[in-house]
Amino acid sequence: MIMLINERDTRHERILQVANEMMTAARTAPKGKGIDIIEVLMVTGETIVELSKAMLDYSVKTGMKFITRDANNILQADAVILIGTKQKTQNLNCGYCGFDTCAEKMKDVPCALNTVDVGIAIGSACSTAADHRVDSRVMFSVGRVAQEQNMMPECSSIYGIPISGSTKNPFFDRIFTPPPPSESTK
């Protein structure tokens, strides 16, 4: 029996498979001192729409207009991978955070190794997407609003990676659309 499967009919499921592989790549990425405090989530469906709406509100609230562009952009994603880190001082006294010792570091200043771990996890996840020829883009804006929405409790330094398997990369030639006027400017 011959069976025909149109690529368009299975694309979304295949992209979600890649998203799962990206989460594995982020999890297994090397960590400073081997301490795993990385958190990884996949956002899909209506939750992407809710996140986009929260990003639009955040753009108006902060005046960061590029977040409006990114909020519209993630609506074209099949999934968004969120990668963040909990803050844990590594007690190396490396000075990378700007303080000579970990004991001198102010509580709100992130440990530099935690931030580096997020970067390595992001690189591993994006490399996995690229290996499968799935389009992606790292977005600070998505992670910042995910943090505001408490999507990853206890995490900071969160970044979002929207992914797509469309004909053309929707995260490349992005069009800026100004945010709607706020109530105070009407």
* Domain positions in the chain: 29-174
Residue 83: strand pairing partners: 40, 159
**Position 35: which residue type?**
I
CATH class, 29-174 region: alpha beta
pTM for this predicted structure = 0.88
SS3 (DSSP) at 46:
helix
Would the CA dihedral through 86, 137, 122, 80 be positive or negative? Answer: positive
For tokens 């880190």, what's the residue? 85
Name the 3-class secondary structure at 153.
coil
Q: Per-residue confidence of the chain (186 residues) as pLDDT tens digits?
A: 879 999 889 899 999 999 999 999 999 999 888 889 999 999 999 999 999 999 999 999 999 999 999 999 999 999 999 999 998 888 889 999 899 999 998 888 888 999 999 999 999 999 999 999 999 999 999 999 999 999 999 998 999 999 999 988 888 876 666 656 655 445
Which helix (H) or strand (E) segment holds residue 66: the answer is helix 66-74
Structural contact between residues 86 and 158, judged by C-beta atoms closer than 8 angstroms: no
